[in-house]
Amino acid sequence: MITKLRQFATTVMFAALFALCSGAVANSQASNPFAPGWTIDTDASEIRVLSIKKQVIAESSQFATFGGAIASDGSATVKVLLDSIDTKIDLRNVRMRFLFFETFKYPEAVIETRLTPGMVAGLQPGQRRAVDLNYSIDLHGVRADRTDRIMVTLLDENRVAVTTTNPIILAVSDFGLSEGLQKLQEAANVTIVPIATLSFDFVFLRDGIATAAASETVTSQISSSSTSSVTPVALETTGNFDTAACVGRFEILSRTGNIFFRSGSAELDSESLPLLSNVLDIVRRCPGMKIEVAGHTDSDGDASTNQRLSEARAGAVTAYLIQNGIEYGRISSVGHGESQPAFPNTSTQNKQRNRRIEFTALDG
């Protein structure tokens, strides 16, 4: 009998302790709704961008790879890998990456904000509340502060949805994207309205609820604010490209204008390396093709000097590719001097764009 009483007392004690602990956790979460932290459920979330071309044609795109978290103090960060833009057309994706977003220099967009307990205080499962949110967007090297209305919905005690009530209007000029838009229009031969709208539906899971696999994926995407810690994930076929994909990519690379030399010199500037590393990757994935590297100059100076300079600059790019593992026989170079301007040499901007390196994919 004494043994049974002791067992009963022990059981009661543990039950009481469990109840106390559960109450402490519940009270902690009630006083701090962000404890112990939340992680975005990427399978249940999406980011959409709507643009208008030819004044009347709407095109909707999505980003395939992003991650985010809400810390216990309410600070929230969402990172979007811009290489994962999905327009449903391969070469359109490539144009967006290389010409518009310039992902070889700016691989991600970052949204940051701080939430307050009052935004979710008193919400019951299934209830929602519209709040005005102050946040910042870091895109293409430009940080902009914004305020927009969003909807917060408590799905249950472990899931919360954060969505746009109306599309967020973004002007390309606000983020230094006007030149990229111009290149995009020239490449696609269309006019594009210089304003896009952004919409998102984010679902956050209370930490400890997300699956281990999801947590590991998201942690790798958002573990640091440094772009060097993020591995871009391009939406494209893995492995080697077919002929059309190769030809299209080299035509797009030729329009970037992101291979730079010191003034009057054929010495590559270090600012060229981010794009050249992408050129290397594409050349490697087009193994059955030979690549011609062509140099061009503006019309300033002596024509014969410009001819020699264009040849030397094309040769410098060719040398870079060979030094980094591309077979000598696959790469050739040629200089055209000032003889093939892409634009009239009537302005500083046009002259800058005429000083260029172009790539052409040839049959192997």
User: How do residues 251-270 score in pLDDT, each as one tens digit?
Assistant: 999 999 999 998 889 999 99
CATH 3.30.1330.60 domain locations along the chain = 243-363
What pLDDT score does 209 carry? 73
Tokens encoding 34: 């962000």
Peptide bond into 36 cis (omega under 30): yes
Residue range(s) in the chain whose domain bears CATH number 2.40.128.110: 34-229
DSSP 70: E
- Rounded to whole angstroms, the Cα distance separating 84 from 126 reads 32
Tens digits of residue pLDDT in 109-163: 999 999 999 888 889 999 999 999 999 999 999 999 999 999 999 999 899 999 9
Cβ 223 vs Cβ 229: under 8 Å: yes
- Predicted confidence (pLDDT) at residue 13 exceeds the cutoff of 60: no
Query: 300 — phi, psi (to 5°)?
Result: -70, 140
Q: Indicate if the pLDDT at residue 89 is higher than 80.
A: yes
Amino acid residing at 256: T
* CATH tag, 243-363: 3.30.1330.60
* Mean pLDDT, the chain, integer: 86
Cβ atoms of 45 and 70 within 8 Å: the answer is no
Q: Phi/psi zone of residue 49: left (φ > 0), alpha (ψ -120 to 50 degrees), beta?
A: beta
**Residue 236: per-residue pLDDT:** 65
Residue (of 304, 252, 314) closest to 278 by Cα position: 252
What is the Cα Rg of the chain in Å?
27
Single-letter code of the amino acid located at 232: P
Q: Is the pLDDT of residue 46 over 90?
A: yes
Single-letter amino acid, residue 38: W
Confidence bin at 237 (pLDDT 50/70/90):
low
Confidence class for position 22, pLDDT limits 50, 70, 90: very low
Q: How far apart are the first and last CA of the chain?
A: 92
- CATH class of the structural domain 34-229: mainly beta
The residue ranking higher by pLDDT, 246 or 120, is 246
DSSP codes, 315-349:
HHHHHHHHHTT--GGGEEEEE-TTSS-SS-S-SHH
Q: How far is 308 from 196, CA to CA, in rounded Å?
A: 44
Q: Is the pLDDT higher at 29 or at 35?
A: 35
